[in-house]
């Protein structure tokens, strides 16, 4: 119940493409859903986050879509750039406790 | 430096040795978390502190692992009698109690047990 399942494991897109990364969860008590970006040798950095009472949130080129009934959420990266090449993790948290992370998606944006 | 600082960045140790890692959180952050990340996986929760109190420990934290945050500031994570399976990146994160979205991660300590 504490798991967050993430797909795909890896993704390759051309510059300007819109990569989409998907996550699914089971625990309906989760109340906070962030996405983290991680570059090699660095810790994860918060990209964007959403609460379950909102269906969509945009920040710059990054958009989270949230489907509460399906218990799924996804990250869309608009106009992707080679600098977006990184590993992306979805996560979930309930009741101000620790984050539970997905297994990660390695994104490569080709120039 | 306003970030979360972790030392050392890399540690290579022989199996059976003890190792200790240090995390210096952002100064006003009263919550401090330790995570472990193995290659190709997401971070897994180990334990967290609110000030100096250790409030929760994961089942991943075996008896060989111990964490402290003696004065509610920096924290240490010690692994005794290291095993090859302990090889991983150990990440520290901190946040304030009230800023619920504000987890800030350090760059981690990469442990290699040979």
For the segment A65-78, what is each residue's pLDDT rounded down to a tens digit? 999 999 999 999 99
Residues in B whose CB is inside 8 Å of some CB of A read: 4, 33, 40-45, 48, 56, 91, 93, 97, 100-108
Distance CA B61, CA B45 (A): 9
- Cβ separation B105–A44 shorter than 8 A: yes
pLDDT value, residue B98: 74
Distance CA B97, CA A7 (A): 31
> What percent of chain B lies above the pLDDT cut of 90?
78
Mutation target vs B (from A41, A44, A51; most B CBs, 10 A cutoff): A44
Distance CA B50, CA B103 (A): 13
pLDDT value, residue B1: 52
Q: Are B67 and B58 contacting, i.e. CB atoms less than 8 angstroms apart?
A: no
Residues in A whose CB is inside 8 Å of some CB of B read: 6, 32, 34, 36, 41-46, 49, 89, 91, 96-104
pLDDT value, residue B74: 96
Measure in Å the smallest separation between the Cα of B43 and chain A Cα atoms: 6
């Amino acid at each position: 119940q504490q798991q967050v399942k993430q797909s795909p494991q890896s993704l390759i897109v051309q510059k300007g493409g819109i990569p989409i990364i998907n996550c699914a969860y089971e625990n309906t008590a989760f109340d906070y859903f962030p996405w983290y970006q991680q570059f090699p040798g660095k810790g994860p950095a918060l990209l964007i986050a959403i609460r379950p009472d909102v269906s969509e949130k945009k920040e710059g080129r990054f958009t989270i879509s949230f489907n509460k009934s399906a218990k799924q959420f996804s990250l869309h990266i608009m106009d992707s750039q080679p600098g977006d090449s990184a590993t992306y993790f979805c996560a979930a948290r309930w009741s101000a406790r620790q984050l539970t992370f997905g297994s990660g998606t390695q994104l490569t944006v080709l120039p | 430096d306003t970030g979360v600082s972790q030392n050392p960045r890399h540690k290579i140790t022989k199996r059976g040795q003890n190792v200790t890692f240090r995390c210096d959180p952002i100064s006003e952050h009263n919550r401090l978390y330790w995570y472990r990340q193995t290659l190709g996986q997401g971070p897994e929760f180990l334990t967290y502190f609110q000030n100096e109190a250790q409030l929760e420990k994961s089942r991943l934290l075996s008896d060989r692992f111990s964490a402290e945050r003696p004065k509610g500031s920096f924290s240490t994570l010690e692994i005794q009698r290291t095993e090859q399976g302990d090889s991983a990146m150990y990440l520290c994160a901190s946040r304030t109690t009230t800023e619920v979205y504000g987890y800030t991660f350090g760059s981690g300590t990469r442990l290699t047990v040979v």
